[in-house]
């Protein structure tokens, strides 16, 4: 039997049994999720199969997939064939861009001003996202996971957990609405100041092409967003959006539903408006995760972190201010 060790690598060799001793980093995690993390490339169906057969043992006993690991548990992982994927090396320019976008960092947490155009993780034809790039740039960091997500073309504040405990605690804070998210968006037309709340249920749909779309539907989930006008222009409005619920594409679809789609939105936007704005040099999705407000779980310190606009969005607003402003 291999000697007991603390798990540090993502993919243990598939040729022999491995035993891992659980530290506080994985304390409380479900065994199926633990295996999914450390057996990268192994389908979940295979993970549940080896659990069901008793090939995975905790303290030499069979466990169910819902078993939560405890400090000091010894986990037996059998030989498993792993389908490895070759992940390309991140470009130095991208690594530098992300590292220079860090807004806050301590031993447990990092908040980044994610650039527009960078996906938060690989998948759907994207081999390298924000989280994979961070892991490559900081190989000494044993744990690094997304706390929440942003669409690829949305810029702004995103949290990265550097310890599992903080990840779990921030997930709980998000569920209990203890994290306040504030977005800024440039939308088409004149948003009425009286329109301060959009309450419209949202439902996910998958098209025949495989594309995921969200629409307002009476059978959808309750979805609410607060809005506030920040700066009106002749043909557009800079607004503040604060999601009360956290549905996929919520702000984008609620803006569309209100009749003022976000400029540069190729999925839910107005193609004619987008074309006209491109002629003005506005070529990106004009949605920005501007601010996060929350308490650090360990210290209880209240944080308010703001992400400045990137050059493209700043130039767009400056141009509208000089040529399209409203008195």
CB 110 within 8 A of CB 99: no
> Rounded CA gap, 78 and 76, in Å?
6
Cα distances (angstroms) measured from residue 262 to each of 86, 254, 300: 37, 10, 36
CB 47 within 8 A of CB 36: yes
Residue 287 tokens read as: 């949605």
What crossing angle do the helices spanning 130-137 and 92-99 adopt, rounded to 10°?
Answer: 100
Catalytic amino acids? 151
CB 309 within 8 A of CB 115: no
> Rounded CA gap, 232 and 145, in Å?
38
> Rounded CA gap, 156 and 158, in Å?
7
Residue among 69, 75, 73 at smallest CA distance from 28: 69
What crossing angle do the helices spanning 44-52 and 31-38 adopt, rounded to 10°?
Answer: 130
**Which residues in 256-278 are b (16+ Cβ under 10 Å) and which e?**
bbbebbbbbbebbbbeebbeebe
> Rounded CA gap, 223 and 167, in Å?
25
> Rounded CA gap, 248 and 245, in Å?
10
> Rounded CA gap, 74 and 79, in Å?
16
> Rounded CA gap, 136 and 143, in Å?
12
Residue 196 tokens read as: 């301060």
């Amino acid at each position: 039997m291999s000697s007991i060790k603390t798990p540090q690598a993502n993919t243990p060799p598939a040729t022999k049994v491995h035993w891992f001793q659980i530290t506080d980093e994985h304390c409380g995690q479900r065994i199926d999720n633990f295996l999914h993390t450390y057996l990268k490339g192994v389908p979940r169906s295979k993970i549940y199969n080896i659990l069901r057969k008793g090939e995975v043992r905790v303290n030499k006993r069979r466990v169910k997939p819902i078993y939560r690991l405890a400090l000091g548990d010894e986990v037996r992982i059998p030989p498993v064939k792993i389908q490895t994927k070759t992940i390309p090396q991140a470009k130095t320019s991208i690594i530098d861009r992300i590292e220079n976008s860090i807004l806050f960092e301590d031993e447990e947490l990092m908040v980044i001003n994610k650039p527009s155009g960078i996906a938060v993780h690989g998948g759907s034809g994207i081999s390298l996202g924000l989280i994979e790039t961070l892991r490559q740039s900081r190989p000494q960091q044993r744990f690094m996971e997304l706390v929440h997500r942003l669409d690829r073309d949305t810029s702004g504040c995103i949290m990265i957990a550097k310890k599992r405990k903080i990840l779990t605690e921030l997930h709980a804070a998000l569920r209990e609405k203890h994290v306040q998210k504030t977005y800024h968006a440039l939308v088409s037309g004149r948003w009425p100041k009286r329109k301060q709340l959009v309450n419209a249920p949202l439902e996910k749909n998958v098209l025949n092409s495989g594309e995921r779309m969200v629409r307002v539907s009476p059978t959808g989930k309750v979805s609410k967003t607060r809005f506030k006008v920040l700066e009106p222009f002749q043909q557009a409005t800079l607004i503040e959006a604060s999601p009360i619920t956290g549905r996929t594409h919520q702000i984008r679809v609620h803006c569309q539903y209100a009749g003022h789609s976000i400029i540069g939105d190729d999925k839910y936007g107005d193609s004619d408006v987008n074309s006209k704005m491109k002629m003005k040099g506005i070529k990106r999705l004009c949605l920005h995760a501007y601010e996060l407000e929350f308490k650090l779980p360990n210290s209880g310190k209240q944080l308010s972190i703001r992400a400045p606009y990137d050059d493209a969005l700043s130039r767009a607003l400056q141009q509208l201010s000089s040529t399209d402003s409203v008195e």
